[in-house]
Structure 1
Amino acid sequence: MGYRTGFIGRRDFFRFGSMGAFGIAASSLLWQVEQAQAADLSGASSLSPDEALQKLLEGNQRFVQHHPEYPDQSEARLLEVAQAQHPFATVLSCADSRVPAEIVFDQGIGDIFDVRIAGNIATPEALGSIEYAVVLLGTPVLMVLGHERCGAVTAAVQNEPLPGAIGAFVKPILPAVEQVKGLSGDLVDNAVTANVRYQMEQLKRSQLLTERVQSGQLRIVGGRYDLDSGTVTLVA
Structure 2
Amino acid sequence: MEKYVSLKVEDGTDMEAYTAIPADAAGRNAPGLILLQEAFGVNHHIRDVADRFAAQGFVVVAPELFHRTAPPYFEGNYADFPSLMPHMNGLTIEGNQADVKAAYYFLKHHELVNPANIFSIGYCMGGRVSFLANATVPLSAGVTYYGGNIKILADKAADVSGRHLFFWGGLDKHIGQDQIDLITGELDKAGKAYTNVKFSYADHAFACDERPAYNEQATKEAWAMTLAFFRNNMK
Interval of TM-score (by shorter of Structure 1 and Structure 2): under 0.3
Q: Normalized per residue, which structure has more strand?
A: 2
Q: Normalized per residue, which structure has more helix?
A: 1
When the two structures are superposed, what TM-score results if normalisation uses the length of structure 2? Answer: 0.27
CA radius of gyration, larger in: 1
When the two structures are superposed, what TM-score results if normalisation uses the length of structure 1? Answer: 0.27
Higher relative contact order (CA 8 A, sep 6+): 1
